[in-house]
Amino acid sequence: MAKLLVKLQRYFRRKPVRFFTLLALYLAAGSLVFLHSGFAGEPTVTGTQRGPGAGEGPGLPYLGVMQLSRGFKAAATMPDGGRRHGPWFKSASKEPAERAKAGEYGSNRSRALRARSGHEKEEDRARYIGCYVDNTRRRTLRGVSFFDYKKMTVFRCQDNCAERGYLYAGLEFGAECYCGHKIQASNASESECNMACKGERSNICGGVNRLSIYRLELAQESARRYGSAIFRGCFRRPDNISIALPISQIMLNMSVDKCVDFCTEKEYPLSALAGTACRCGFPTTLFTLHEREDEQLCAQKCAGEEFESCGTAEYLLVYQTQVQDNRCMDRRFLPTRAKQLVALASFPGAGNTWARHLIELATGFYTGSYYFDGSLYNKGFKGERDHWRSGRTICIKTHESGQKEIESFDSAILLIRNPYKALMAEFNRKYGGHIGFAAHAHWKGKEWPEFVANYAPWWATHTLDWLRYGKKVLVVHFEDLKRDLFVQLQRMVGLLGISACEDRLLCVEGQKDGNFKRSGLRKLEYDPYTPEMRKMISGYIKTVDTALKLRNLSGVPDDYYPR
């Protein structure tokens, strides 16, 4: 054996190229085996959610959190690695074997109706309108579709369609979800929608070529879509309409598609339907889109499409096209070194990246960071590479909360978010990346209770430290920024010493989402917080609320309570 090894050693010394070739082939083969094993199946969730003891903490008295140590600080690190398997997949064909099982559920009508009634009361998000015929060649709902032959539920389908702004959600074959703006088929007998959902046997998800259709009553109008266009609402005709919406076209066969396509071709971000007239333009001080009217005032049927509304001469139905409003897209570094360092401070998961996006669009200057995140730099946050003291950026992102770090800044925008939402957002980022989601195994395992026990106190100490040691602090609540972006952004830009014109801020409203908004594809269908966790977090909320009021600031928003 020793002689053989010596011979091989001498051989490879004379032929080094062959040695490295064999080594490369060996490594490549090992990599392929590793990848194959990784994709062999989906990760399984073992165990159950930890008991109360894992996440429990004291119900703090008011201001008691001041005594907490700051051992919970953590830098904004890159998200943990690991492969994530999403539940959604598409299939061009449907398995005959599963189709054959449809008859097994023929006697489930009464059970399905009871389940639907209970689900509507529980979720209060949609109204069941009936069973409808579907055709694989010409779909009844012609928007996006998702299949999940293992975990489909009514909630999941409704959530996905609502997230994309559709009015209807339909479930078919127990595992398929279809979205649409209108129903283009006839009713079928309720007994023909007879297949239980793959993810919840207590509910019915259509049948063979049959759709169980829900109307999404609580879809957010600002997010409703019609194809690629975003529905903005019904608005009164502006004064000087020829200036506010300068491009127009009479369309006797008017439809939403035709007007949106016309304005897209003319490269305008707004498409306004006024009966038989299609108008295009930008949001400006003449047409701000801030004062919405009742949609019924715009409910005049389109001449070219009876299922759609096309507005009237006095009330315009407005859509936002896919054309980018470039009036606020230019960004650069500060021309001269900043005299003061302004922090954009927040607890992780409180929307700091989104706030940076808004500030950059509103001011035209890059924001910096106390850390470095390559994924943010690659997405356009060019100030990410600069040292935070460089003075070339308009403000600096930070999650720090120690006295020394806070006193390094001359002023700060303190962004506060509901801790229940912030903790879940940061947990998703930690285990799934900036726009990804933590796996169910993480939520159900020991990671989530440990995370809450460590991070919930930090949520409180972060705010308290900035209020205590910050030199000039402007408090902005994430919920207020979402609800009234224009006013809150004006406050933030004012602290930065920049006078942003109103048209630029209106442009920001149209581009507000940016590249770091999570979709609704994998929202949790249950509350991950135990009663003990909620008791602990409620104590921290009361502590922060009291601290804000002691400084003559408004307390936390009402939607932090009750939990």
- In 173-304, the DSSP E strands lie at 176-180, 196-197, 200-204, 210-215, 225-226, 229-236, 247-250, 270-274, 277-281
User: How many CA atoms lie within 13 Å of 424's alpha carbon, on the beta-carbon side?
Assistant: 14
Q: Which two tokens stand for residue 533?
A: 């966790």
Classify residue 1: in a domain, yes or no: no
| Residue 497, domain CATH | 3.40.50.300
3-state helix vs strand vs coil in the chain, percent to 5: 40, 15, 45
Read off the amino acid at residue 104: E
State whether 306 and 430 are in the same domain.
no
* Pairwise CA distance, residues 74 & 92, whole Å: 46
Domain that holds residue 357: 342-560
Q: Do 430 and 361 fall within a single domain?
A: yes
Residue written as token pair 């070339």: 392
**Is 61 a domain residue?**
no
Domain assignment present for 333: no
| C-alpha pair distances (Å), 112 with each of 109, 117, 216 | 5, 9, 19
Q: Does residue 172 sit in the same domain as residue 236?
A: no
User: What is the count of structural domains for the chain?
Assistant: 3
Residue 167: inside a domain: yes
- Token reading at 326: 């470039």
Residues in CB range of 468: below 8 A, 6 or more apart: none
Do 390 and 432 have their domain in common?
Answer: yes
388 plus 370 within the same structural domain: yes
Closest C-alpha to 433, from 444, 445, 425:
425
Same domain? 252 vs 367: no
Domain ends where: 216, 244, 262? 216
Q: How far is CA 1 from CA 26, 73, 169, 491, 507, in A?
A: 22, 57, 70, 79, 76
Domain identity same for 284 and 405: no
Residues 352 and 454 in one domain: yes
- The residue from 256, 289, 320 where one domain ends is 320
Per-residue pLDDT of the chain in tens (563 residues, 90 and over written 9): 666 666 766 666 666 766 777 777 777 776 655 444 443 333 333 333 333 333 333 333 333 333 343 333 333 333 333 322 233 333 333 333 343 333 443 444 444 444 444 444 434 568 899 999 998 888 898 777 888 888 889 988 988 887 766 778 999 999 999 988 778 888 999 999 999 999 888 999 999 999 999 988 654 444 566 767 888 889 999 999 999 999 999 999 999 989 999 999 999 999 999 999 999 999 999 999 989 898 889 989 898 887 788 999 999 999 999 888 888 888 999 999 999 999 999 999 999 999 999 999 999 999 999 998 888 888 889 999 999 999 999 999 999 998 999 999 999 999 999 999 999 999 988 888 766 788 888 898 999 999 999 999 999 999 999 999 999 999 999 999 988 899 999 999 999 998 878 889 999 988 887 665 655 445 667 789 999 999 999 999 999 999 999 999 988 988 887 54
Label residues 439-469 b or e (16+ Cβ within 10 Å = b).
bbebbbbebbbebbbebbbbbbbbbbbbbeb
Listed in sequence order, the residues at least 6 apart from 484 whose beta carbon sits closer than 8 Å to its beta carbon are: none
Statement to judge: residues 285 and 151 lie in one domain: no
**pLDDT tens digits, one per residue of 290-319:** 898 988 899 898 988 877 889 999 999 999
The answer to whether residues 205 and 135 belong to one domain is yes
Rg (CA), the chain: 28
Is 436 found in the same domain as 382? yes
Task: Please state, in angstroms and rounded to a whole number, the distance separating the CA atoms of residues 76 and 466.
Answer: 18
Interatomic CA distance for residues 542 and 187, integer angstroms:
52
